[in-house]
Amino acid sequence: MPILAGAVFLFSFLFPASAQGRQGRYGGSVVFSTISDPKSFNEVTAQETSTTEILQYVFEGLTRLNPYTLQVEPNLAKRWDVSADGLTWTFHLRDDVRWNDGQPFTADDIVFTFNDLIYNPDIPSSARDIFTIGGKEFKVTKIDNYTVRFVLPVRFAPFLRGMTQAILPQHKLKEAVKDGRFNFTWGIDTPPKEIVGTGPFRISEYHPGERIVLKRNPYYWKMLDGDRLPYLDQIIYLIVQNQDTSILKFLEGELDYVGVRGSDYPLLKPLEDQKHFKIYEVGPDFGSQFVCLNQNDRVNPDTGKPFVAPFKLRWFRDVRFRRAIARAVDKKRIIEILKNGLGYSQNGPMSPSAGFFYNPNVVKYDYDLDASRKLLSEMGLIDRDGDGYLEDADGHRVEFNFYTNSNSPERIQIAGIIRNDLEKLGMKVNFLGMEFNTLVSKLNVSYDWEMILLGLTGGVEPHFGNNVWQSSGQLHMWNPGQKTPSTEWEKRVDEIFVEGVQILNENRRKKLYDEWQLIVSQQLPFIYTVLGANIFAVRDKFGNLDPTPLGGAFHNIEEIYIKE
């Protein structure tokens, strides 16, 4: 369970007007399951997917990502103009939108969401980091009731994608902000009808540890062939902590949808007809899983000792060493063993599902232990004393620690497979699984690690990973928080991320980010492993169902209806 990246952006707004939308019938409910309770209903302070998964039905942004094309399209804003210098953006809002308590939605709500919530110094919000460029905020002003102007300090290419940011109601929250109570407002102890959004559903009941019931928002603005959407009366989320239980509940007919792991596939596939459901495979997951070597070349200021032993650092910083390891990752076998063959090998930082910005032409490392051995002996790492392990010229045995988080059984198994192959090369790998918190403090605070297997969640927009890729970033794991980039290629990546965010022409941007993906695959700060396939099973009873990799099965939930 690594990182919740992209959660807000990926899940926020995926309601498209699907091309083949047909008129449906009203009524009925759909039953989903979620692995854990929402932690809050506060869209601004909330971080984790258990919360955003529920709130995606309740709140909307000015724009949204089209789940088919992955392009930005109008949502609460019906159109926008941009000035020639790319700094002034004027949004024209829909005038037929109401909050789910019947109040009208206006420009005041947008000004409030940005100026009083996101930019409020007393409210911790990850959105502020996204909407603050070089320490400067956007200027958000109301022109009239249905027009808002954003003035940016510099050009910001992901701006429209950022505008999927959920808008919150001023009339419900301004008192809480004034009293300084906002951080503790809209927690799970709030009566659900107080949670007011513009989305197709509103929260109607929440029973901790059991279920969340969302009911149709009667004021929802979207229409389909003269029908006011959504068609469904309610969405019920059962909280089921265990994936195996979810599968059983699905087979019993209690759930209408379930995520399918590679290992579940052989169980479910033969039952499709008998139990009336269909399995969809929509391509690779977002996110990544990778091996990373510690390249931190600095000295621990507390002890005066280097973070990484100098002779090991010499190996880790040598790209041949990293390439040798990349050649020793048997992706085919990992997919075969762990995913039942339902997986994809990953070669670069973007998932193929990311579409436009994904660069397929990166360096790929096929499993080839002989090639690894050749690279290692080029570096002078050979078995000098005949004990079966490699040594460098000074007689240091090639031995290092390998950590991962122990709460993911799959990751432990992947680490086992990788370790096995590295041992075959003659490396002594001391593997240890540990609690996630412990691992993170090693990564971020003590820098006391040598090799890790970890994951990051990803999205469509490369810039939102800049904390990882810029050499000054805290998540630049292999050598975080550098004052000046320690290698030429890191310097080039820094330039790409600084430049890329200011180019408004998407094709020119893509060229830059293609280069970044190529550099990463050549230099291998992260040695990528495999991506799972995004597979799910849906009961055969829904109309207008049209799954996509980005949005999953129910991205157009407001158009989905129950067939007779």
Partner 1 sequence: MFTYAIRRILIAIPMILIMALFTFLLMQKTTGNFYDLLRMDPHISAEYIHKYEQLYKLDQPLLVQYFEWVKNLFHLEFGYSFYYNIPVVNVIGGRLWNTFILSFSSLIVTWGLAIPFGIWAALRRNKAVDRVIQFCSYLALSTPSFFLAMLLLYFASRTGLFPLGGMHSAHYEELSWFGRRWDLLKHLAIPVIALSVASVGSLQRIMRGNMLEILHQQYVTTARAKGLPESKVIYRHALRNAINPLITLLGYEFSALLSGAALVEIIVSWPGLGTLMLTAVRSKDIYLVMASFMMGGILFIIGNLFADILLARFDPRIRYE
Q: Does 188 bind partner 1 (CB under 8 A)?
A: yes
* Contacting range for partner 1; rule: CB under 8 A; set: 93-101, 170-178, 202-210, 392-400: 202-210
Beta bridge partners of 452: 292, 403
Three-state DSSP class for 403? strand
Three-state DSSP class for 349? coil
Q: Does 537 bind partner 1 (CB under 8 A)?
A: no
Select 137 or 254, whichever has its Cβ closest to partner 1. 254
Binders of partner 1 among residues 291 to 320 (CB under 8 A) are none
| Interacting residue with partner 1 among 200, 259, 465, 552 (CB under 8 A) | 465
Binders of partner 1 among residues 32 to 61 (CB under 8 A) are 36, 39-40, 42, 45, 47
CA distances from 261 to 218, 251, 412, 531 (A): 36, 15, 16, 12
Number of shown-chain residues binding partner 1 (CB under 8 A): 59
Select 464 or 542, whichever has its Cβ closest to partner 1. 464
Alpha helices in 310-447 (DSSP H): 310-316, 319-327, 331-339, 369-378, 409-424, 436-441
The total of other beta-carbon atoms located within 10 Å of residue 94's CB is: 17
Binders of partner 1 among residues 203 to 222 (CB under 8 A) are 205, 207-211, 213
The total of other beta-carbon atoms located within 10 Å of residue 134's CB is: 7
**Contact track, partner 1, 103-132, x by CB under 8 A:** ---------------------xxx-xxx--
Task: Give the integer Cα–Cα distance in Å for 496 and 336.
Answer: 36
Task: Give the integer Cα–Cα distance in Å for 214 and 229.
Answer: 15
Select 198 or 466, whichever has its Cβ closest to partner 1. 466
Q: Does 96 bind partner 1 (CB under 8 A)?
A: no
Task: Give the integer Cα–Cα distance in Å for 418 and 475.
Answer: 23
| Interacting residue with partner 1 among 194, 387, 435, 540 (CB under 8 A) | 435
| Interacting residue with partner 1 among 240, 342, 362, 376 (CB under 8 A) | 240
Do 9 and 459 meet the contact criterion of CB atoms below 8 Å apart? yes
Three-state DSSP class for 480? coil
Do 407 and 368 meet the contact criterion of CB atoms below 8 Å apart? no
Q: Does 177 bind partner 1 (CB under 8 A)?
A: no
Do 390 and 383 meet the contact criterion of CB atoms below 8 Å apart? yes
Residue spans of beta strands (DSSP E) within 94-178: 132-133, 136-137, 139-144, 147-151
Q: Does 184 bind partner 1 (CB under 8 A)?
A: yes
Select 426 or 462, whichever has its Cβ closest to partner 1. 462
- φ and ψ at residue 218, rounded to 5 degrees: -65, -15
Q: Does 248 bind partner 1 (CB under 8 A)?
A: yes
Q: Does 194 bind partner 1 (CB under 8 A)?
A: no
Q: Does 396 bind partner 1 (CB under 8 A)?
A: no
State the minimum distance, in angstroms, from the CB of residue 412 to partner 1: 17
| Interacting residue with partner 1 among 142, 249, 428, 492 (CB under 8 A) | 249
Select 152 or 236, whichever has its Cβ closest to partner 1. 236
Torsion sign, CA atoms 243, 245, 251, 252: negative
Residues interacting with partner 1, by CB under 8 A?
A: 2-6, 8, 31, 36, 39-40, 42, 45, 47, 124-126, 128-130, 183-184, 187-189, 205, 207-211, 213, 236, 238-242, 245, 248-249, 252, 254, 407, 435-438, 440-441, 443-444, 456, 464-468, 474-475
